[in-house]
């Protein structure tokens, strides 16, 4: 019996997704929950599991094509008695969508139930109540690959970035790369594990693959099955100016729509303040020298994030939401802290849930995990949803200040500038001190200028005198 699988709602009301690459072809035999393809939404790259066990009959879209939610994606030749019906899948999808309160997105199943389809974005549905195990990653002769971490994924807009991370050994993990790069490496016959051993612990790019392939004398890349041969370049007439046109889609399209909506909905106000963070930087050096804290990467962004959570407790209007439909101001008594990250796919803002509950070391661990996930391109839609206040680290680019745009629905965002050693008045004399400029943008419908200034001053006081945190 031929059964069609239609593209499900991947969460957050997304209406379409682009097929990045197919991992199966017509005629292949697949098992339940086997990964069929990688699709890219406006927020994340998602692995699409099979809702059937059977044989792939046909693919309804090629790599690079955009498919609307509900449109046919792939057809299977399956046993009608053992495969879930379309109604079963729809009911399961509805149940999964209602499970937003589970942070890891699991779809639970009672012990003894038969295996159910693994719905996209909600994790596996095991036959027991246990959390599903992560997919095993391939290793190189079970060896440990020590790689040096370079800068975090910070190649896009200079106002949204994560800080660099320290070196960390990775045991048998799949190299970090995007789906198109993995497909390109496969066409060139290059093992990404070997490339990772040379480039270090960062996202492998197409250029890295080509450089390695050229060095070992690999054959040129063959065109992908779904790609037409590239047309030969045509010389431009003298005096004519060349252009490159790139389709507006994926994260870039979503970001543009969100920023325009925010800029023309919320009246933005930005306030700046330069802070003497010498005491904070000295504290960080002391914590880094403490052997008991070597597993926790405590840097300036970690301390700023902790200070922001403390300051929001004293200035709740910057942690509120304007509900236009209900005609209400919603004041949040928790902090879901967004950390803006510029990745190869574009701008994303993953969330640290209940950040106000975290200690300094807990915040360091949460930021480290967030960085690793964003760098590997595995941030899920659930990890990008919501957020009550955001931080963007422009200091990693050597930038001092900026006017960040609010993420839609939030009333405040703080830009953290670079730490610079400059002359500064200190105890009645001129001394070289370590300075940082903070820039906070806020929604003037919710936050008056005085409230925005008090919040910024509270953050600054905590950075100038870290011991003040004991008073909050």
Catalytic residues: 444
Pairing of strands 35-40, 268-276: unpaired
CB within 8 Å of 420: residues ≥ 6 apart: 400, 434, 435, 436
What is the C-alpha to C-alpha distance for residues 11 and 371, in angstroms, rounded to an integer? Answer: 22
What is the C-alpha to C-alpha distance for residues 89 and 230, in angstroms, rounded to an integer? Answer: 40
Query: Cβ distance 27 to 59 under 8 Å?
Result: no
Burial of 464 (0-12, 13-18, 19+ CB in 10 A): middle
How would you list the strands of the sheet with 35-40, edge to edge?
45-49, 35-40, 16-22, 66-68
Please state the separation of Cα 331 from the chain's center in Å. 26
Beta strand ranges found along 245-376 (DSSP E):
268-276, 320-323, 328-331, 337-339, 341-343, 346-348, 351-352
Please state the separation of Cα 313 from the chain's center in Å. 26
CB within 8 Å of 60: residues ≥ 6 apart: 4, 67, 71, 72, 73, 74, 75
Pairing of strands 389-393, 337-339: parallel
- From residue 98, give the alpha-carbon distance in Å to each of 29, 93, 382: 32, 9, 12
What is the C-alpha to C-alpha distance for residues 468 and 446, in angstroms, rounded to an integer? Answer: 27
Query: Cβ distance 36 to 22 under 8 Å?
Result: yes
Q: In terms of DSSP H, where are the helices of 173-271?
A: 179-188, 192-199, 206-216, 250-263
Q: What is the dihedral of CA 219, 224, 227, 232, to 10 degrees?
A: 0
- From residue 398, give the alpha-carbon distance in Å to each of 72, 371, 393, 432: 48, 19, 10, 19
| Widest distance between CA atoms in the chain | 85
């Amino acid at each position: 019996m031929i059964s069609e699988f239609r593209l499900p709602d991947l969460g957050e009301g997304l209406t379409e997704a682009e097929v990045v690459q197919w991992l199966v072809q017509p005629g292949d035999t697949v098992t339940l929950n086997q990964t069929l393809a990688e699709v890219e939404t406006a927020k994340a790259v998602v692995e699409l599991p099979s809702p059937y066990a059977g044989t792939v009959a046909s693919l309804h879209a090629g790599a690079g094509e955009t498919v609307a939610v509900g449109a046919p994606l792939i057809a299977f030749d399956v046993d009608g008695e053992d495969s879930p019906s379309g109604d079963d899948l729809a009911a399961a999808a509805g149940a999964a969508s209602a499970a937003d309160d589970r942070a890891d997105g699991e779809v639970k199943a009672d012990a003894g139930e038969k295996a159910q389809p693994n719905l996209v974005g909600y994790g596996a549905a095991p036959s027991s109540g246990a959390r599903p195990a992560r997919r095993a990653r391939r290793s190189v002769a079970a060896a440990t690959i020590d790689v040096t971490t370079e800068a975090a994924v910070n190649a896009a807009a200079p106002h949204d970035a994560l800080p660099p991370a320290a070196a960390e050994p990775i045991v048998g993990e799949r190299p970090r790369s995007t789906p198109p790069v993995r497909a390109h490496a496969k066409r060139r016959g290059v093992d990404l594990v070997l490339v990772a051993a040379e480039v270090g612990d960062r996202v492998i790019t197409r250029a890295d693959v080509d450089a390695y392939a050229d060095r070992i004398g690999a054959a040129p890349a063959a065109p992908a099955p779904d790609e037409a041969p590239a047309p030969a370049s045509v010389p431009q007439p003298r005096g004519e100016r060349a252009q490159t046109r790139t389709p507006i889609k994926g994260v870039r399209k979503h970001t543009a729509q969100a920023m325009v909506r925010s800029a023309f909905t919320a009246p933005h106000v930005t306030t700046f303040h330069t802070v003497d963070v010498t005491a904070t930087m000295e504290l960080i050096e002391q914590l880094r020298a403490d052997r008991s804290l070597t597993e926790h990467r405590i840097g300036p962004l970690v301390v700023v994030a902790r200070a922001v959570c403390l300051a929001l407790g004293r200035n709740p209007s910057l942690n509120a939401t304007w509900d236009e439909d209900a005609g209400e101001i919603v004041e949040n008594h928790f902090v879901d802290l967004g950390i803006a990250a510029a990745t190869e796919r574009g701008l994303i803002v993953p969330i640290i849930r209940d950040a106000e509950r975290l200690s300094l070391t807990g915040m360091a661990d949460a930021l480290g995990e967030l960085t690793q996930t964003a760098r590997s391109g595995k941030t899920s839609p659930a990890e990008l949803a919501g957020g009550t206040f955001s931080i963007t680290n422009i200091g990693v680019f050597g930038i001092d200040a900026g006017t960040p745009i609010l993420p839609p629905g939030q009333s405040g965002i703080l830009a953290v500038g670079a730490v610079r050693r400059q002359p500064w008045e200190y105890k009645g004399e001129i001394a070289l001190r370590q300075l940082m400029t903070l820039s906070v943008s806020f929604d003037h419908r919710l936050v008056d200028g005085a409230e925005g200034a008090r919040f910024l001053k509270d953050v600054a006081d905590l950075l100038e005198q870290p011991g003040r945190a004991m008073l909050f």
